[in-house]
Amino acid sequence: MATFRFTAGPWNIHEGNETFGPGIRPQIPFEDKIVKFKEIGLDGVQFHDDDAVPDMNDMSETAIVDYAKDVKGLLDKNGLFAEFVAPRLWFDKRTNDGAYTASLDEDYDFAVWRSLRSIDIARALGTNKIQLWYAREGTLCAEGKDPVAKIKKMRDAINTMLEYDPGILILIEPKPNEPIDRSYCGTAGHGLALGAQTIDPSRVGLCIESAHSILAGLDPANDMAFGLAWNKLWGVHLNDQNGIRYDQDKSFGVDNLRQAFNQVKVLYENNFGDLGNFECVGLDVKAMRTQPAEDCYRHLINSKAIFLKLLEKVKRFDYDFQKKCVTEQNFEKLEMYVIDLLLGEA
Residues within the interface to ligand XUL (CB under 6 A): 48, 86, 133, 173, 175, 209, 237, 247, 284
Query: Degrees (nearest 5) of the Cα angle 178, 179, 180?
Result: 85
Alpha carbon distances (Å) from 203 to 118, 130, 164, 199, 232 = 16, 10, 13, 9, 9
* Closest approach of Mn ion to the CB of residue 88, in Å: 12
- Is residue 237 near Mn ion by the rule CB under 5 A? yes
- Report what 94 binds from ligand XUL, Mn ion, none; CB cut-off 5-8 Å by kind: none
Pick the closer one to ligand XUL by CB: 80 or 86.
Answer: 86
- Report what 145 binds from Mn ion, ligand XUL, none; CB cut-off 5-8 Å by kind: none
- Is residue 97 near Mn ion by the rule CB under 5 A? no
* Closest approach of ligand XUL to the CB of residue 334, in Å: 33
Rounded to whole angstroms, how far apart are CA atoms 24 and 14?
9
Pick the closer one to Mn ion by CB: 51 or 209.
Answer: 209
Pick the closer one to ligand XUL by CB: 208 or 306.
Answer: 208
Pick the closer one to ligand XUL by CB: 174 or 325.
Answer: 174
* Closest approach of ligand XUL to the CB of residue 247, in Å: 5
* Closest approach of ligand XUL to the CB of residue 48, in Å: 6
Sign of CA dihedral 269, 207, 35, 304: negative
Alpha carbon distances (Å) from 158 to 38, 150, 183, 203, 226 = 33, 13, 17, 10, 22
Pairing of strands 138-139, 182-183: antiparallel
* Closest approach of ligand XUL to the CB of residue 329, in Å: 39
Q: Which of 284, 286, 287, 302 binds Mn ion (CB under 5 A)?
A: 284
Residue 129 and residue 85 in contact, taking contact as beta carbons nearer than 8 Å: yes
- Report what 72 binds from ligand XUL, Mn ion, none; CB cut-off 5-8 Å by kind: none
For residue 26, is the peptide bond before it cis, meaning its omega torsion is within 30 degrees of 0? Answer: no
Rounded to whole angstroms, how far apart are CA atoms 233 and 50?
25
Q: Which of 49, 137, 209, 223 binds Mn ion (CB under 5 A)?
A: 209
Q: Which of 235, 249, 247 is nearest to 282 (CA)?
A: 235
Contacts of 293 (CB under 8 A, 6+ apart): 25, 26
* Closest approach of ligand XUL to the CB of residue 346, in Å: 34
Pick the closer one to ligand XUL by CB: 121 or 314.
Answer: 121
